[in-house]
Structure 1
Amino acid sequence: MEVAVITEADLRKFLPKAKAALVAAVAGNWHEAEAAGITSPRRIRQFLSNIATETGGLTSIVESLTYTSAQRIYDVFKGPATNRRFKSVAECQSYVRNAKALAIKVYGGRMGNAPAPSTDGWDFRGGGMLQTTGREGYRNMGFEGNPGALQSNPKLAFLAAVREWKKRGCNELADRNDTEGVRKAINGGTNGLSDVRTYLARAVTVWPDNAKPAGVPGAITNPVVIREAQVMLKALGYTEVGGVDGVIGTMTRGAILAFRAENGLPLTPTLDDEFMRALKVAQPRQIAKERVLASVSVVAEKVPEVKANMLSKILSATTAAVSSFFAAIVGIFDQFDDARGYIDPLKGFAAGLPGWLWLVLLTLLALSIFMISRNGEKKGVEAFQSGERR
């Protein structure tokens, strides 16, 4: 089996916001992953996509448990209907921005942790790159006596993730491209599955299968069939496909990879008979609730143009307010002889027009920019919430 090389450059391409220390820990200790059999592109993609999901894109190796809304706490930790940790959203209110208390509540008395008032739930909260959780899990990884090491040391966090992966038989699941099976083995359920699939679609562009796309047996290149696939992808909710032009360009490749990732197909950016069969029986795409309800600030972190429009909107609104203020001041002062001596030199640059008029024009221009930016921000947020913008 050919072994793929994992470099820091590739990891940064995969996870642009990853912290340097965590990237270095993965790349610098990748030989340990190879020793655990994580060598094929498919295994690598599954492994790194789950790590990305658990660490917020390689930005943290310890679970924060700081939530800003009771609804979010309820959605994440309510548990199965037969054993609710929280029976209502109202019960979650006291745990908003109260991470330690929340950890003790949801993890206490489980996974080898002693119940409250013991702090086990907090001490043994998620740690490492695959978020080992609970005293029992820490014990199995050898960190029961020093949980802080798993939560703060990047190298140890990565090595523990490798051991977890191998121990749970994830290589075999990855070989079958069983994304949901891998997720259940790692997480115990399907929480975070949509994030894993999103990362997988990105990972295949960095670590593709050994065969080049153009050389995939049975690849469909007929423009008529490609247009048919583009139409069906759009109808199913894969609106990032772009135009219906019979050409597999960058946007269409992204839609193909997203469909493959979400339907358990091999991750190659091509069309083939298997893909077309799956496409014809597929159900409309389900957009995750957290994406549909995403706030402007959340979207701005994921969609650069929304952030740009948001900043432009703020700047233009400020400009409009300042201009309006000075327009009023100049318009009033212009009526007094004593003030004209200060204003007249500036008005010479305006070809005889009153200074207040120029400020009004500037205000109107700023307001126009504000309206355009606000509309762009709104469209960007709507595209993210609907799944059009990944």
Structure 2
Amino acid sequence: MPITQQQLLQILPQARQVAGFFVPALNAAMSRFKIDSPVRMAAFIAQVGHESGQLTRMVENLNYSAQGLLATWPSRFTAQTAAAVARQPEKIANIVYAGRMGNTLPGDGWKYRGRGLIQLTGANNYRAAGAALGLDLVNHPELVEQQETAALVAGWFWQSNGLNELADAGQFDKITRAINGGLNGQADRLALRDAAVKVLA
């Protein structure tokens, strides 16, 4: 049961400018990755809706203040180093993502920063998603910013992390942890999920 543009906008009203582009992309991804029941679709739309600012942001915002850097990555910054790179997204990415998630070369942190509907991050994840989808995301990470690829990557991540099964079991907190690493923004995620459940019922 594909989602319609009207239904999507009832759940994600801020997506008005892009909904027409995203509806076919989301439907293709949900069909391919078995996100095919109201409970699975509601969880998926809620999570990608939250992660992407209701489909309006396809690239991670790394424009942090010094205080924001210290609050978000206390183990990676001192007051002095945070002040030196505040509001410089490329430098920030290359510090916070260096030497992890498969990032080994200078500049990999920025090259493989979070993109798409679920913020694919790190060279290893770009490599894995690209291999699964038959796309060269290692050399062309910017593809993940495009609606069709963003939706496919989100669907691939969802299925490969067992999130359909967690949705079936009502384990929404566990879905958020798998995507976010914690429960950041959970109130908004739950509100979007509840809206989606009503619309898709």
Per the shorter chain, which TM-score range? 0.7 to 0.9
Task: Find the counterpart in structure 2 of residue 85 from structure 1.
Answer: 76
Task: Find the counterpart in structure 1 of residue 139 from structure 2.
Answer: 145
Residue 11 of structure 1: CA displacement?
1.2
**Are 1:206 and 2:199 counterparts?**
yes
Task: Find the counterpart in structure 2 of residue 27 from structure 1.
Answer: 23
Q: CA 1:10 to 1:77, structure 2 compared with 1: closer, same or farther past 3 Å?
A: farther
Distance 1:201 1:66 in 2: 31
Specify which of 33, 53, 57 is matched with residue 54 of structure 2.
57
The RMSD of aligned alpha carbons is: 1.9
**Are 1:127 and 2:115 counterparts?**
yes
For structure 2, the residue ranges without an aligned partner over 5 or more in a row are 131-136
Task: Find the counterpart in structure 2 of residue 154 from structure 1.
Answer: 147
3-state SS of paired residue (1:17): helix
Task: Find the counterpart in structure 2 of residue 71 from structure 1.
Answer: 67
Task: Find the counterpart in structure 1 of residue 134 from structure 2.
Answer: none
For structure 1, the residue ranges without an aligned partner over 5 or more in a row are 79-83, 209-390
Specify which of 166, 180, 183 is matched with residue 187 of structure 1.
180
Distance 1:42 1:195 in 2: 17
Task: Find the counterpart in structure 1 of residue 93 from structure 2.
Answer: 103
Rg larger for: 1
AA aligned opposite 1:110: R
AA aligned opposite 1:38: I
Q: CA 1:9 to 1:122, structure 2 compared with 1: closer, same or farther past 3 Å?
A: same
Distance 1:201 1:93 in 2: 41
Specify which of 38, 41, 63 is matched with residue 38 of structure 2.
41
Residue identity over aligned pairs, in percent, reads 35
The aligned length equals 194
State how 1:150-299 maps to structure 2 within 5 Å. 150-151=144-145, 153-208=146-201
Query: C-alpha offsets along residues 361-384 of structure 1, whole Å, 9 cap, x if unaligned?
Result: xxxxxxxxxxxxxxxxxxxxxxxx
Decide whether the 8 Å contact of 1:19 with 1:59 is kept in 2: no
Q: CA 1:71 to 1:19, structure 2 compared with 1: closer, same or farther past 3 Å?
A: farther
Distance 1:178 1:139 in 2: 28
3-state SS of paired residue (1:202): helix
- Normalising by the residue count of structure 1, what TM-score does the alignment of the two structures yield? 0.47
Residue 19 of structure 1: CA displacement?
5.4
Residue 150 of structure 1: CA displacement?
1.1
Distance 2:185 2:49 in 1: 10
3-state SS of paired residue (2:13): coil
Residue 191 of structure 1: CA displacement?
3.1
Residue 72 of structure 1: CA displacement?
2.5
AA aligned opposite 1:165: W
Residue 156 of structure 1: CA displacement?
0.8
Structure having greater relative contact order (Cα 8 Å, sep ≥ 6): 2
Residue 121 of structure 1: CA displacement?
0.3
AA aligned opposite 2:119: Q
Specify which of 89, 104, 120 is matched with residue 114 of structure 1.
104
Distance 1:180 1:109 in 2: 29
Query: C-alpha offsets along residues 279-335 of structure 1, whole Å, 9 cap, x if unaligned?
Result: xxxxxxxxxxxxxxxxxxxxxxxxxxxxxxxxxxxxxxxxxxxxxxxxxxxxxxxxx
**Are 1:9 and 2:6 counterparts?**
yes
Task: Find the counterpart in structure 2 of residue 245 from structure 1.
Answer: none
Distance 1:91 1:205 in 2: 47
3-state SS of paired residue (2:15): coil
